[in-house]
Amino acid sequence: MGGQTAQLSFWARPLHAMIEAFTTAGFRILVISEPAAAPGTPRELLPDKYADNPRFLCFLFFVLQAE
């Protein structure tokens, strides 16, 4: 992205488990964001019940700060 490399990790856990893991590891959560589907995403790629409202939980992004 923009000529920079980033590591993307998939972690399918309940939200409470993710928050506990971050805080136990000594991080403070600064931001949790839940982006909408990208503009122009073809409707057939969205689940049927969300096609008219593309805000559905698919990714959560966390900004963390070491304490």
On whether residue 2 sits in a domain, the answer given is no
Of 50 and 14, more confident: 14
On whether residue 65 sits in a domain, the answer given is yes
Distance CA(37)–CA(59), nearest Å, equals 9
On whether residue 1 sits in a domain, the answer given is no
On whether residue 47 sits in a domain, the answer given is no
Which domain covers residue 27, as residue numbers? 14-36+55-67
On whether residue 60 sits in a domain, the answer given is yes
**Based on the structure, what is the number of domains in the chain?**
1
pLDDT at 21: 93
Sign of CA dihedral 39, 49, 56, 6: negative
On whether residue 8 sits in a domain, the answer given is no
Measured in degrees and rounded to the nearest 5, phi and psi for residue 19 equal -65, -45
Whole-model pTM: value is: 0.59
On whether residue 31 sits in a domain, the answer given is yes
> Using 50, 70 and 90 to split pLDDT, how confident is the model at 55?
low
